[in-house]
Structure 1
Amino acid sequence: MDRELQAPIDPSVAKELKAGDMVYITGTIYTARDAAHKRMDEALSDNKELPFDIRGNLIYYMGPSPAREGRPIGSAGPTTASRMDKYAPKLLDLGLGGMIGKGKRSKEVIDAMVRNGAVYFAAIGGAGALLSKAITSSEVIAYDDLGTEAIRKLTVERFPAIVVIDSNGNNLYETAGAAYRKK
């Protein structure tokens, strides 16, 4: 089913989403990759605040290329989500509403998603130039010294993604593979 979503995501909306749903996200999302996740983890260990309110928000695992003239951002494709798996459960327990990336997630991340009613979306790898067209603004808000891995606040309009793992732990990577093997 196709769904229009507003970000940040309301927990009741997250619970309605099902693995396999196509969504179009409008609103504010944040980018963070490996180095930014490490810094956020260190901040939490030092009892410091995160650079943005994590509750209900979506983190897009992406490091953009430089913006062309007249554009807010360059190519903006997803990166492999499993590299953030050691940090994700803690962020989910703090209220992270969901994540956008590509690839499989660990059992620990899926358990934390179910425990907290969060969702994992996949963006299409290799389509970074196309995905960037859904981004209307981009602003570095933290860890500028990390370059492309800095945390950015993005405004998106109808950003396309697929619900891969829903808040009940249903995993499209597993169910789609099983359905294909039956055929």
Structure 2
Amino acid sequence: MPYRITLPFDRAEFVKYKSGAEFYLNGVIYTARDAAHQRIQELIARKETLPFPLANQIIYYAGPAPTPADKPIGSIGPTTSDRMDVFTPELLDLGLAAVIGKGPRAAEVKASLQKNKALYLGALGGAGALLARAVTAAQVIAFPELGTEAVRRLTVRDFPVTLIYDIHGGDLYADRYMLG
């Protein structure tokens, strides 16, 4: 039975979750892909204000398809996470609670997740249209010139994800599927 989670996460609860746990997320998550991560890293290096608070938040590695007139967002499936590996440890060090994407991560990211007691969550690739049904509101909050890679603030209801890497070192890919 999936856990229903109201965001932001209560990080004290992370200790009870093991890789393979399923969640329905409810609340706010932020999108950021490659280009947005580069811009965020530049802001951090210049000690400038970030477009959203990192503490206890979630970044979803996704860029939506065009938004239909009657919907809050277009199809929004996860992108391959390892493209963000170079940026992730620093964001976790700054308080990010979790990231959502697809595919395995570098050893440095896995170590940083454990060190920072943060989670790597997986969204089902190829199911962007279904995932969009869980988005009740979407707003571009930074870097609109990046188009689909702009940072968006999403309000989600019962957004389905699976815990891939837990804070104990559990790895769903390695433990269950013998990958990695």
Task: Work out whether the TM-score is over 0.5.
Answer: yes
How many residue pairs were aligned? 179
Query: Partner of 1:126 in structure 2?
Result: 126
Aligned partners of 2:154, 2:15: CA distance in 1, in Å? 24
Partner of 2:110: 110
Q: Report the equivalent of 1:26.
A: 26
Corresponding residue number in structure 1 for 2:166: 166
User: Quick one: which amino acid aligns to residue 84 of structure 2?
Assistant: M
Structure-1 separation of matches of 2:21 and 2:52: 28
1:90 aligns with 2:125: no
5+ residue gaps, structure 1: none
Give, in whole Å, the separation in 2 of the partners of 1:165 and 1:82.
14
Q: Which residue of 2 aligns with 1:155?
A: 155
TM-superposed CA distance for 1:64, in Å, is 0.1
Q: Report the 3-state secondary structure (helix = DSSP H, G, I; strand = E; otherwise coil) of the residue aligned with 1:59.
A: strand
What is the one-letter code of the residue matched to 2:146?
L
Q: Which secondary structure does the structure 2 equivalent of 1:28 belong to?
A: strand
- Residue of structure 1 equivalent to 2:50: 50
Q: Is 1:66 aligned to residue 51 of structure 2?
A: no
**The 10-residue stretch of structure 1 (13-22 or 128-137) with the greater mean CA deviation from structure 2:** 13-22
User: Residues 65-103 of structure 1: CA distance to partner in whole angstroms, max 9, x if unpaired?
Assistant: 011111000001000000000000000000000000000
In the TM superposition, residue 16 of structure 1 has moved relative to its aligned partner by 2.0
RMSD over aligned Cα atoms: 1.1
Q: Structure 2 length as normaliser, TM-score?
A: 0.97
TM-score (norm 1): 0.95
Q: CA deviation at 1:169?
A: 1.9
- Give matches, 1:1-12, under 5 Å: 1-12=1-12
Unmatched runs of 5 consecutive residues or more in structure 2: none
CA distance in 1, matches of 2:84, 2:14: 21
* Aligned-partner Cα distance in 2 for 1:24–1:139: 21
Instruction: Give the secondary structure class of the aligned counterpart of 2:64.
Output: coil
Structure 2 distance, partners of 1:129, 1:177, is: 26
Contact persistence 1:99–1:121 (CA under 8 A)? yes
Counterpart contact for 1:14–1:97, Cα < 8 Å: no
Give the letter for the 1:172 counterpart.
L
Q: Give yes or no for contact 1:6–1:26 (8 Å, CA) kept in 2.
A: yes
1:93-139 deviation line (CA, Å, top 9, x unaligned): 00000000000011111111111110011000000000000000000
